[in-house]
Amino acid sequence: MKDLNAIRAKKAFIIDMDGVIYHGNRLLNGAVEFVDWLSANDRNFLFLTNSSERSPIELAQKLSRLGIMVDPEHFYTSALATASFLATQHPGGSVYVIGEPGLIQALYDAGFTMNNVNPDFVVVGEGRGYSLEALERAVHLVLGGARLIGTNPDLSGPVEGGIVPACGALVAPIELAAKTKAYFIGKPNPLMMRHGLRRLNARREETVIVGDRMDTDIVAGVESEIETVLVLSGVTKEEDLPAYPYRPKHILAGIFESPGAG
């Protein structure tokens, strides 16, 4: 189910990265042609990623190493969305963070300080710094009154070697032990989508979202009334589709079937 002419007609593109543009450090077939098509046809585009590990500058550098030149202004992450949200909730507050430098820097830039004693929030993202010690401290702090925040609800993510646990899976032990529920900022939270549209300076009617996950990218588009394109090169496979009560508008085998390939 695809209509490349309908996709080509859109003026703005919200694009996921993992499973759409690359797997880990491996560029996916058609990614270069797709980004070249966006630039050549004066389309507004934003890489809107639930990953919180890297800053926009680091993401731009990663794409550059893979052979795609894109300015940092074309990236928006769940770390930035999380920091923006918390700044509206508790300006100048403090946080205990389990995550990577991209998340920590976004929180610093939003005016937050790091606090492992009595923070206002416990914020969890992806990262190699996840440990039993960090988990125990997070549970202790949440039980002490800190509010639990997850950068995104993804349970898993695609890498070169297959699938790895993502933020939703890492937050789950804290939720269970502290008997509470985290608030997740990334897709499909409408906050993330509104941030994306504002960055693009675009209306939802003239925008399309391209992603590899039914449970984040596609449902985010459906709930925000943005036209959806599912690519089957990441987490969601064709045999998974009957399990969902909603459908993408378009289904592509991968980004190589995108407008840039036509």
Residues 192-208 have pLDDT tens digits of 999 999 999 999 999 99
Residue 108: pLDDT band by 50, 70, 90 thresholds?
Answer: very high
Provide φ and ψ at 124, rounded to 5°.
Answer: -120, 130
Q: How many helices (H) and strands (E) does the chain have?
A: 9, 15
- Token readout for 46 is 């934003």
Catalytic position from the list 18, 120, 212, 217:
18
Segment 40-94, tens digit of pLDDT: 999 999 999 999 999 999 999 999 999 999 999 999 999 999 999 999 999 999 9
**CA–CA–CA angle 162, 72, 156 (5° rounding):** 20
Last residue of a domain, one of 164, 184, 204: 184
Same domain? 225 vs 165: no
Average pLDDT over residues 25-41: 95
Q: What is the pLDDT of residue 163?
A: 75
Same domain? 151 vs 106: yes
Query: What share of the chain has pLDDT > 90, as a percent?
Result: 84
Closest Cα to residue 248, out of 43, 261, 260, 234? 234
- Token readout for 16 is 């996921």
Same domain? 169 vs 230: no
Q: What is the pLDDT of residue 203?
A: 95
Q: What is the pLDDT of residue 48?
A: 96
Q: What is the pLDDT of residue 121?
A: 98
Same domain? 127 vs 38: no
Residue 143 has pLDDT above 90, yes or no: yes
Q: What is the pLDDT of residue 259?
A: 81
CATH number at residue 32: 3.40.50.1000
Confidence (pTM): 0.91
Active site residue 16: yes
Q: How many domains does the chain have?
A: 2
Same domain? 107 vs 167: yes
Catalytic position from the list 16, 212, 215, 217:
16
Q: What is the pLDDT of residue 240?
A: 96
Q: What is the pLDDT of residue 262?
A: 57
Residue 106: pLDDT band by 50, 70, 90 thresholds?
Answer: very high
Q: What is the pLDDT of residue 231?
A: 96
Residue 71 lies in a domain: no
CB 147 within 8 A of CB 171: no
Provide φ and ψ at 81, rounded to 5°.
Answer: -65, -40
Q: What is the pLDDT of residue 206?
A: 96
Q: What is the pLDDT of residue 165?
A: 86
Domain extent for 167:
83-184
Residue 135 lies in a domain: yes
Same domain? 134 vs 192: no
Q: Treating both helix axes as pointing N-terminal to C-terminal, what angle do 167-178 and 132-143 enclose, rounded to 10 degrees? A: 50
Residue 161: pLDDT band by 50, 70, 90 thresholds?
Answer: confident
Active site residue 18: yes
Q: What is the pLDDT of residue 1?
A: 62
Greater confidence (238 vs 160) lies with 238
Same domain? 95 vs 144: yes
Return mean pLDDT, the chain. Answer: 94
Residue 77 lies in a domain: no
Last residue of a domain, one of 139, 161, 184: 184
Same domain? 127 vs 193: no
Last residue of a domain, one of 162, 184, 206: 184
Query: In b/e form, how buried is each residue of 28-38, taking b as 16+ CB within 10 angstroms?
Result: bebbbbbbebb
Q: How far apart are CA 46 and CA 66, in angstroms?
A: 18
